[in-house]
Amino acid sequence: MKAILSVFFLFVFFSDITAQESDTLQNQSTYRRAWDAAIENGKITPEERALLDIMVESLLLSADSSSVWEQRWMPRFDKPLDQSGRWPLVLQNIAIGSGLYGWGIPYVLHAENDRWFVGGVMVSAGGAFYLTYKYTRDMEMTHARTQMMRYGSLLGLRYGAGLNQLLDLDSGDGEKTETLWVWMLMASVPAGHYGGEYLFDKYDPTNGQAWAWTMWTGVTGVTARLIYNVINEAPDNTYGVEYDKWEKNRTAIELLSYPLGVYYGYRLTHEKQYTFGDALMLIQGWGYGYFNTMMLQSILFDSGDDDTFLMVAGLGAAGSALAYDHYIQHDDFTFGQSTLMLLGSASGTFFGFGTAILLDVTDKEPMLTMALAGYGAGTWFTRKILDVKADGSLAQHSSTQMSLSPTIIPSLGSDEKVTLIPGIGLNITFK
């Protein structure tokens, strides 16, 4: 889009403007064509706005008249709200509403009858649906926005649980702390939700960028926790004061690592064109890297410390994700292609294990070696048969479409009478 605007700008800049009066029909037409090109995707980026402002000055247009044109043309190019990611957010909030607030609110109110907890769970589920429905009714709810809100809520819940541990609010000593830790959890979810929404509004990631960004944030927390276990060895007594202090320090390190994960995750992803399938490739790269590194260590080393073993596996997983990132940098995977890569790699691993069993290989080292070889062969062959292309449009639009709709299911009873059962139809379409 910026290239198109740049062409318009260069054309205007080097043309011979002979008319000296402003707001001519020809200049208006030129500016309008540039505006049409910029608004084609439904929004004006800061770079496009800067080029349009330069055109206003070059065409000798007044700022007031250009604003009038934009207000007049905007309704013609105003696209319907993209709410494809609305239903996952509603579903998530129903789960959180019933799973946390449903019992949490009666708990902090010191309800003693079980009916308040059962009823609270049900009422919270319905209330979460209505409130989320109202909140998102007039909002652009893409899958990217939903992912940022979803992960923000979950990360907020992790901070709430971590702060409860650091402040000893989950000890249950006394009536005050018995309820304060639940208040902390209930407050942390909307705080995290707002943080995710703020980051989305500020940086406007695509769906693939949002998933890759949040993945690196989570990887940072997991890796920091594994490294801490090696650097600071756990006390032998797992129930003493020293162990409690050790656990608190580990939680503090993990919570401090998440902002670093947000920062470096953004640095790793914001300039790259990720599809949703690309993000899934990074996630499976981390997962396969974790287990492959464990198998490789088992082949090379006979014994070792468990914490070191897991830390090396975590570092290997992060390195594998970076390797996958380089592996797919010139391709745009769809959801279906990424899923096939996942299945191909897993099938190759199983094929290696199965071959070792058929050949009556009982030693650990050759069996794991054959499994690793099977993983590599499965990944390579699957990638060779897939026709993965560089398709920039996939980065802007989700390649997966999902919808929920009410339906009626006919059922034939024992008395041979047909009864109608209400149900929900799930339709999933992906490339």
In a domain, 304, yes or no: no
Full domain range(s) for residue 403:
399-430
The last residue of a domain, from among 18, 46, 77:
77
DSSP 342-365: HHHHHHHHHHHHHHHHHTT--SHH
Q: Which residues contact 44 (CB under 8 A, 6 or more apart)?
A: 38, 52
pLDDT of 310 reads 92
In a domain, 261, yes or no: no
pTM value? 0.73
Measure the CA–CA gap between 236 and 363, rounded to whole angstroms: 33
pLDDT of 29 reads 65
pLDDT of 408 reads 60
In a domain, 291, yes or no: no
In a domain, 233, yes or no: no
Number of domains making up the chain: 2
The last residue of a domain, from among 77, 105, 124:
77
In a domain, 95, yes or no: no
- Token pair of 300, please? 């090379």
pLDDT (tens, 9 = 90+) of the chain, 431 residues, equals 444 444 444 334 334 433 444 445 566 567 667 767 766 655 667 677 777 777 666 655 555 444 544 554 554 445 577 778 888 888 888 888 888 888 888 888 888 888 888 888 888 888 888 888 888 888 888 889 999 999 999 999 999 999 999 988 866 555 566 788 889 999 999 999 999 999 999 998 999 999 999 999 999 999 999 999 999 988 887 777 888 899 999 999 999 999 999 999 999 998 888 999 999 999 999 999 999 999 999 999 877 788 999 999 999 999 999 999 999 988 889 989 999 999 999 999 999 999 999 999 989 899 999 999 999 999 999 999 998 887 766 666 555 555 545 556 666 666 666 666 665 555 555 44
pLDDT of 171 reads 61
Measure the CA–CA gap between 55 and 112, rounded to whole angstroms: 69
Q: Is 80 exposed, middle or buried (0-12, 13-18, 19+ CB in 10 A)?
A: exposed
The last residue of a domain, from among 56, 77, 98:
77
In a domain, 91, yes or no: no
335-358 helix and 276-300 helix, angle to the nearest 10 degrees:
20
- Asked whether the beta carbons of 170 and 164 are under 8 A apart, the reply is yes
pLDDT of 422 reads 60
pLDDT of 425 reads 57
pLDDT of 134 reads 87
Measure the CA–CA gap between 9 and 1, rounded to whole angstroms: 12
Q: What secondary structure letter does DSSP report for 309?
A: H
pLDDT of 70 reads 56
In a domain, 270, yes or no: no
pLDDT of 13 reads 39
Tell me the C-alpha to C-alpha distance, in Å, between residue 78 and each of 72, 141, 143, 271, 412: 11, 16, 20, 27, 49
In a domain, 17, yes or no: yes
